[in-house]
């Protein structure tokens, strides 16, 4: 009887994962989306980062693809599909990549032709109810205005990653402006930490330039690792990082009213 009781207890421990031999070595990481760019503190809200196993040396082929890639900027994409200057200016004002980035106000509807068309379509479709037409405005925009840029960049990200399969991806939120990675499986093999690479893969646009990071980070199981992004200053490289800064191609959008 004692033998069978011990077997039941051991089976229960295995199922619940309480035995030390069954425990996984897991780590976590926080990537801060607050970064100083050209003297100004910027917030990288709702921007996606990828976590890859291995350091920059192991991911060298990926880094070289990132350096060589031809990127279509947000402004050039939208002007290329004949979006109005007002629409592009609305995106610029919130550093947005699509209309889902932030709420669309009555004032926005009055200023942006595409919003006016979608709003009027909603009034007809939803029984002339202004609040519903405003809340569902994005569903009545043309698909290429809503998801075209996202789909193009998703395809580009898959091409750039190639055979480099990320362990996880995470997006910074709009409050803490952090991308959080949890339950990272570690293969430390007797060491306290393991080396990983973090990258946004797709350049982020600020002003007239784009910024792309590929950085090494040591992650262990004892405490969360924290990464704070930096850009090169005075031609000095950022330690353990490849930071790719490019001048954006200028696509004329007209003058934007920032008032």
Residue range 43-79, pLDDT digits in tens:
998 899 999 999 999 999 999 999 999 888 999 999 9
Q: How far apart are CA 128 and CA 124, in angstroms?
A: 6
Q: What's the token pair of residue 154?
A: 């998703």
**Domain 25-70+161-247 CATH superfamily:** Immunoglobulins (2.60.40.10)
What is the full DSSP assignment across 139-156? GGS-HIIIIIHHHHHHHH
Question: Does the global pTM surpass 0.75?
Answer: yes
Q: What is the DSSP letter of 254?
A: -
Q: Sketch the domain layout of the chain as residue ranges.
A: 25-70+161-247, 77-145
What's the length of the chain?
259
Residue range 201-215, pLDDT digits in tens:
999 998 889 999 999
Residue written as token pair 């890859």: 52
Nearest to 29 by CA among 211, 224, 254: 224
What is the full DSSP assignment across 13-77? HHHHT-SGGG---EEEEEEE-EEEETTEEEE-TT-EEEEEES-TTTTHHHHHHHHH-----HHHH
Residue range 164-181, pLDDT digits in tens:
999 999 999 989 999 999
């Amino acid at each position: 009887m004692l033998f069978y009781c011990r077997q039941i207890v051991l089976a229960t421990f295995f199922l619940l994962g309480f035995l030390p031999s069954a425990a996984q070595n897991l780590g976590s990481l926080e990537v801060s989306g607050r970064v100083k760019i050209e003297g100004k503190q910027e917030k990288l809200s709702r921007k996606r980062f990828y976590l890859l196993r291995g350091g920059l040396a192991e991911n060298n082929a990926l880094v070289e693809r990132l350096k060589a890639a031809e990127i279509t900027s947000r402004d050039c994409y939208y002007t290329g599909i004949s979006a109005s200057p007002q629409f592009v200016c609305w995106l610029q004002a919130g550093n947005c990549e699509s209309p889902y980035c932030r709420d669309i106000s009555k004032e926005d509807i009055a200023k942006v032709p595409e919003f006016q068309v979608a709003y009027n379509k909603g009034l007809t479709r939803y029984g002339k109810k202004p609040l519903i037409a405003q809340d569902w405005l994005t569903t009545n925009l043309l698909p290429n205005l809503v998801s075209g840029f996202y789909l193009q960049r998703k395809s580009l990200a898959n091409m750039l990653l190639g055979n480099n399969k990320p362990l996880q991806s995470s997006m910074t939120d709009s409050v803490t402006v952090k991308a959080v990675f949890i339950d990272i499986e570690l293969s430390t093999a007797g060491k306290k930490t393991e080396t990983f690479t973090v990258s946004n893969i797709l350049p982020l646009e600020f002003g007239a330039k784009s910024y792309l990071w590929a950085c090494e980070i040591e992650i262990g199981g004892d405490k969360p690792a924290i990464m704070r992004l930096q850009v090169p200053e005075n031609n000095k490289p950022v330690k353990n990082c490849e930071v790719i800064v490019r001048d954006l191609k200028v696509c004329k959008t007209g003058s934007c009213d920032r008032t």
